[in-house]
Structure 1
C-alpha cells in the first residue's frame, strides 16, 4: 500500500502543473530564471513534478509506483529514432544472465567500452531520461569514435529488493567489469550519475587497492570478493553530479537557492543502503563516503593520476558542497577536469538535457542537433580526447 505522505504528494501534482505553467508564461519559474536549458514548458513542468515527489516516498512505495527494470526500457525505446534509425548493433542484447546487464550498443571488434551506472540513490531504477541520455551521448560522438565504442548498462540490485543493501551493487559491478576484460575489451570507461558516480568510485578503489579491499570486504561472506583478481584499472571516469556522501547531510556554504533541485536533501536513501549492515556510519567512510576518505587512498587510481576523469555538477545543487569537497581531495594530489554549470541543478545531463530526445524527439539526435548542451558538449569533448 502506498504511504500516506507519498499519496498526498501525488494529489498535489495537478496544482504543481498549474502553478508552473502560469509562472512559465508570466514571471518565469525558478528554472527559467537560472538556467538556459529550461527552454520549454515541458521541461519546467517535468522537473517541478519530479521535485514535488522527490525524497517524499518510503522504500515500500518504489515497487508499487515507480519501479521498472531496465529491460523494459530497452523494449520501450525500440520505437525511438535513436534506436530505430540509429544503427545500434547488439542493442538490447543480454550481457550476463546472473547480473542484470544489457548492451546499448556493441560494435564488433571494439576495444573500448563504456560501462554506465545509473543514479537514483541506490533505491530508484533507471528512468527514461537517463536511458535517453546514454543514447544521446552515443549519437553525439563523431562517427570514427562511435564505430570503435560499445556501451553497456548495469541494472544493479536496488535497496527495496531482497538482499539489496551494500555491497551487492559493488559485487555486481565487479562481475561485469571482470567479464568485459575476459571478452577482450582493453579499455573500460566508467560513467555514473549521482549514486552511479558513487559506485564508480567504490569499484575503482576496489581495483586499485586490492589488499585493502579484500581485508575490508572479507566480512561480507555472502559474496566471493576473493575471486576478483583484477589487474586492469578503468581507463577513464565521468562523474555527473556524483553523490559522494550519502550518509551525511550536505551543507550550503555558498548560500545558493536550491529550490527545485532533485538532489538528496536527507540521508534516508543512504540509510536504506546500509540498513542491517551496520549502525556505525564511520564503517563506510573509505568505501561510500568519499569526502571522508584519506587522499592517499585515491592516489593509485590511474584516471585521477593521468587526468582521464571528468566531473560536472550544477551551481544550484543541494550536493554541491559535498562534490566540491571531494574535488579538493583529488586536486590535492592529482588531476580531474571539472565544470560547474551556472544555474545548473542535480544531474543536468541525464535529468534535463536528455528530455529533448524522448519519443520522436530522438530524431534530433539522428540529425545531429544537440543545441549546445552544457554537460553533453563537455562529455563528448572529453571522449574525443581520450578515445
Structure 2
C-alpha cells in the first residue's frame, strides 16, 4: 500500500481521546443543528430540502466547532479503501505513488494511465491538483476517488492522463507564501520532466482553487527573491474557488444559512494563512485577491491561461465572488466557462462524487450519466481543451 502521511504538525491517527471528544461534541451539535434548522425554516422559506439544509448546517457546525487536529483526519484508511476496492484492486500498483523533493511533496495519482503505468510525460494531459480545506485542513487522500474518476472519464474519451496531487503544508504552522511556493515548485517539476506547459491543466477546489490562482499569478509575477517567469499552462479549472479574502459580497448574507461555509470559518482561515507571514498585506493580496483591485498587480489578462473553467453552487457563499471573477475573466482573451449548479452548495462538483463513492468503488463498469455529472462535465472540458490545442498547435 502506498503510504500517505501528512507532514503538517497535528496530523496523525485519531487517538481514543480525540474520538471521545469528537463524539461528545457531536452529541451537542446534532440536536442544536436540528433545532436551528427547524426554527429557521419556520420563519423563512427555503428552496433547499430539509435533509440538505440539515446536512449543510451540520458540516458548517463541525468546521466551526471541531479542533483542527481532529478535522485534519488521517488518510491512510481512505487510501486503502480505494486501493482494495473492486474497482481498483487489480491496478493498485499503478496508482497513488508518493513524490517528495526538497521543495514540495505530492502524489502521482496516476501516471499516463490508470491501467498501465507509463512515464508521466507520455500523457496527452497532465493535471496538477490542489485540494480545498481553507488552507488549514484537508488531505490528498480525501480527494483520491474524485481524481481517479476524472482520470477515468478522460481516458474514456481516448486520451492518456497523468495526475499529480500537491500535498501542501497547512496554515497556521505554514503561513503564506509556503503553499504558493510549493505549488510553484510542483509546476516547475512537471516542466523539468519534459512536460510542455500547454499540456498541463491546473485543478483546484475551494482553497485549492485559490492556490492555483496564486500559482498563476506567481508564474507571471515572481515573488522576490525569484525573478524567473514560467509559461502558462493549458488551462485552469476552478471548483468553488476562494477568490477573495474580503468576504463582503452579497451571497455571504443571502446564502449564509444554506451553504456548508460561513464567514466566521473563512475569516479564521484567512487570518491563519496571513498572520505569521513575513510579507505585507498588499503583497499577500497580490497573490490571493482576484475579485477586487490590487495596486500594482498585473491584470488578469497577464495571469490567466487560454482556458478558464469555473464552477459554483447557486447556494454557496462564494457565488457572487465567483460570478464577479468570471465576468472579469471574460474581458480577457481567455475562453471562459462558468457552470453554476442550481440548488447546489459549496464544492458540489467534488461533493457529488463523495456522496456516491461507495457505489463507485464497488462497481467495475460505467455508472451512467447520473453519476456525478458535474465532475464528468469538468473532465470533458479538459478533453476539449486538449483536442483544441492539438488542432491549433503547428508542432503536433
Instruction: Report the TM-score when normalising by structure 1.
Output: 0.78
Within a 5 Å distance, the mapping from 1:152-163 to structure 2 comes to 152-161=164-173
- The secondary structure found in structure 1 opposite 2:204 is strand
Matched, 1:56 2:65: yes
Task: Tell me how far apart the structure 2 counterparts of residues 323 and 207 of structure 1 sit (CA, whole Å).
Answer: 22
**Is contact 1:117-1:193 (8 Å) kept?**
yes
For each residue in 1:78-108, what CA deviation from the matched residue of structure 2 results, as whole angstroms up to 9, or x when unmatched? 12344325x4663121222442211111122
Aligned length: 350
- Give the Å deviation of 1:124: 0.6
Task: Tell me how far apart the structure 1 counterparts of residues 84 and 55 of structure 2 sit (CA, whole Å).
Answer: 22
**Is contact 1:89-1:106 (8 Å) kept?**
no
Of 85, 94, 97, the match for 1:80: 85
Q: Match of 1:312?
A: 311
**Is contact 1:16-1:49 (8 Å) kept?**
no
Q: Match of 2:302?
A: 300
Q: Match of 1:367?
A: 366
Matched, 1:269 2:269: yes
Task: Tell me how far apart the structure 1 counterparts of residues 94 and 219 of structure 2 sit (CA, whole Å).
Answer: 28
- The secondary structure found in structure 2 opposite 1:285 is helix
Instruction: Give the structure, 1 or 2, with the largest relative contact order (CA under 8 Å, sep 6 or more).
Output: 1
**Is contact 1:81-1:362 (8 Å) kept?**
yes
Within a 5 Å distance, the mapping from 1:37-186 to structure 2 comes to 47-57=56-66, 61-63=67-69, 65-68=70-73, 73-85=78-90, 87=91, 90-98=94-102, 99-107=104-112, 108=118, 109-126=122-139, 130-146=143-159, 148-161=160-173, 164-186=174-196
- Give the Å deviation of 1:111: 4.5
For structure 2, the 5+ residue unaligned runs are 1-16, 113-117, 387-396
**Is contact 1:105-1:151 (8 Å) kept?**
yes
- The secondary structure found in structure 1 opposite 2:68 is helix
Q: 1:252 to 1:374 in 2, by over 3 A?
A: farther
Q: Match of 2:288?
A: 288
Kindly report the root-mean-square deviation, in angstroms, between the aligned alpha carbons of the 2 structures: 3.6
Moved more, 310-319 or 377-386: 377-386
For each residue in 1:329-385, what CA deviation from the matched residue of structure 2 results, as whole angstroms up to 9, or x when unmatched? 22222331111111211000112343201x454234733334164422321220221
Task: Tell me how far apart the structure 2 counterparts of residues 356 and 241 of structure 1 sit (CA, whole Å).
Answer: 20
Q: 1:379 to 1:10 in 2, by over 3 A?
A: same
Task: Tell me how far apart the structure 2 counterparts of residues 82 and 293 of structure 1 sit (CA, whole Å).
Answer: 47
- Give the Å deviation of 1:297: 2.4
For each residue in 1:34-81, what CA deviation from the matched residue of structure 2 results, as whole angstroms up to 9, or x when unmatched? 48xx9xx7x777544322212334xxx212x12245566433421234
Task: Tell me how far apart the structure 2 counterparts of residues 44 and 366 of structure 1 sit (CA, whole Å).
Answer: 32
- Give the Å deviation of 1:145: 3.6
- The secondary structure found in structure 2 opposite 1:287 is helix
Of 177, 194, 209, the match for 2:206: 194
Q: Match of 2:242?
A: 243
Task: Tell me how far apart the structure 2 counterparts of residues 45 and 136 of structure 1 sit (CA, whole Å).
Answer: 28
- The secondary structure found in structure 1 opposite 2:146 is helix
**Is contact 2:132-2:206 (8 Å) kept?**
yes
Task: Tell me how far apart the structure 1 counterparts of residues 251 and 346 of structure 2 sit (CA, whole Å).
Answer: 17
Task: Tell me how far apart the structure 1 counterparts of residues 179 and 252 of structure 2 sit (CA, whole Å).
Answer: 33
Of 9, 31, 45, the match for 1:15: 31
For structure 1, the 5+ residue unaligned runs are 219-224
Task: Tell me how far apart the structure 1 counterparts of residues 353 and 53 of structure 2 sit (CA, whole Å).
Answer: 12
- The secondary structure found in structure 1 opposite 2:88 is helix
